[in-house]
Structure 1
Amino acid sequence: MPSSAILAERGLKALNSQDYSQAIELFTQALRQTPESPDYYIKRSTAYQRSSNYANALKDAEIAVVLGYKRGKRELISSAQLRRGASLFMKKRYGDAGFCIGEAEKKVAGEKEKNLIGIWKNKIEIQLSKLDDDDPTREITVSEVPDVEVPIPGEQKESVPADRSGEDRALGTTAQPPPAPGVSTPASRIRHEWYQTASQVVLTIFVKGVPRDKATVEITSESVSVAFPLAGGSEWTFDISPLFDKIDPMTSGFSILSTKIEIKLAKANQNRKWSDLEAPEHPLALGTGEALTATAGKPKEALPVYPTSSKRGPKDWDKVAKALTARPREERKGKETATDKEGEDPEGAEYDSDYEGGDPVNHFFKKLYKDADEDTRRAMMKSYVESNGTALSTNWQEVGRAQVETNPPDGMVAKKWDK
């Protein structure tokens, strides 16, 4: 059998690739050989938490706290208390969670840990602010060092350097070559957009150069949190809790790319339409949300019109969005100029001349448009046309309110064609 260090390394890879059941199995095998490694318990606790097994996540975190104090390592104690607090939060023991996060903050060392602690503190404060003063979930019933039974250690076969390297990897402090310059997008220019299908919500944060080893993305059944350091030394955080509806953390995931962070949240209630990312102050009962396949229950006699500079006057963006997908490809290819019954261009004809192009970027947006719901399609079409091709949004609530202004790239100036 491979050594505990090799098993733990494989477990860490499985954890980072969101294969939580495999990660749990590998760290369990590593702990059979090295039952006094707090780092392995911390990692397995993380895998348990992300697979929604909060009882085992808490159990592992508490053992890790005891072993961390036994070794006298501040960074291990901080990491273990953080996992302990996160598990208690998911079990809705908010007072206990706040106490443990406070203990983690006292001994925090790495930047990544600081970011995580800040996110969890914010979550706990939000939940506590919603509770009555006598709510039992406010109570603090835990102590700094939990009274738990630690597995009896077997013969120590691991070497200290091997175990320490595993701990260092967990804390992001492995001695490595200098990282890339990091985030190049100014904080004021970082933005996010989202769209949904029947089965998932896709959240994209547009930011360049996020270092993978220093970024933190936490996904639970009711929340999503993102944190990463900026070039100036400060941190950028994004936290939504609670989400509009529950998700499945096991089948959700994220990717950190050179120009963006993409997070895919698997809907627990498929076909339920989200009207926003964040839950309303007074949530709807399950089943009252609008289905993605249904039309909104609003009168259709007075369709909305929006400010426009088009010579043809206001556009019916519902009609434009449907026109783009309703006409067969053969019809679009075979006609140089499409006309309607009155001899004028049908709504949408002037906007899709490149719809059949072979450019890979166009192909990406075609797929995005094809898989999106009606609101997302209207938002994409309206924002692109009204901004003269300088903006593309998928958020109809934002775009539908008013005219989308032209926003040329840095160093360029928008001018009318006859000026």
Structure 2
Amino acid sequence: MTSEISKGDAALDNKDYVLAIAHFSKALLSTQAPTWLLKRATAYHRLGQFEHALADANSAVLVALGRGKRELIADAYFRRGIVLHGMKQYGNSRMCFHWTRQYNEKLNGLSMWIAKVTADYDAAGGDEAECNAVTIKEVPDKIEPLPPSSTLVLNGEEISSPMTISAGKKVMDSTTTSTSNVRHEWYQSQNAVTVEILAKNIPIGTTDIKIMKTSLEVSFPIGTSQQTYSLHINPLFAEIDSTKSTFRVATHKIEVILQKSKYGLKWSALEATKSQNVSVSSEATMIPPLDVMCDKSSSKPPVYPTSSKSGPKNWDTLVQDENDDDNDGPDAFFKTLYKNADPDTKRAMMKSFQESNGTSLSTQWSDVSSRTFETVPPQGVEAKKWGD
């Protein structure tokens, strides 16, 4: 079974998640190893099969608890929390990360995910929001296998899974691909609004994108289902500079960057309501400039704190890499978190980061404002004062 796991790992690295599931599933027929369950959960998650991913993560928790190994238990709770975050169950996700910390507080990536789910928890409405309710148990109930929607065939053997593979090559079940599986999201900075459309197998050559001064249109055919996905936003919340706006099409994501005509204008939605004028009044909310982060006497874009020897980084000059691996890249996450944060959250991030010399980061100003952060170096590293 080791060879199946190696093949599954290779497929996972190559982002061939369907093939990875096939190999991990074959290995799991012999042994329900928690690490193998977590690998398959990761593949399911990246395919958007959240229910199957959660079932595997819950199974991994049960097996790991039975074996009594703290690191395995922490890994299982961690994956469970990531999957629940993808399902927008922020209260349940945050609780899983709390349990993770009880078993391994130094787990790689844990601090980043705690900060991420805390920000999403607050943005969703805090304790009053339905998605923030805690409804899960620390020890999951016995997991019943989910009914497969089709079968995997790998080297002549049938393996339960929601996709279909024949002779080791993936053949997507076209009945599972529809417009309901396509979603879009957006975020903004002072000078641009970014719209992302997430789907599987986007046909790069037949995607139609029209960016106009007051509208955006995106359409593309979906697989072999003879359906067409269309996104029409007309009118946009405010006018844009269509000549400076750009887009990028990949097989799993379309990214459209709309350059704002009015720098600093904060959009409250993508589309203007009927009562709004496309030409937004001068009294509209403006995104405050990053006074703490940049020199007012210059027109340079904002820089962010860093402990790098090369000095502060200007994120606006860096190329944003493709990242569909659960948003695990901390640089990309913290850039987006800071960009979309309110002034108090930015102050909290600045103060905690600077006082701790880059070893701590908090987003809660009510907590940060009243205390001083000490330098807490990683395990095995000794903190020394300047000149020692």
Task: Point out the structure with the larger strand share.
Answer: 2
TM-score, with length taken from structure 1: 0.39
Larger radius of gyration: 1
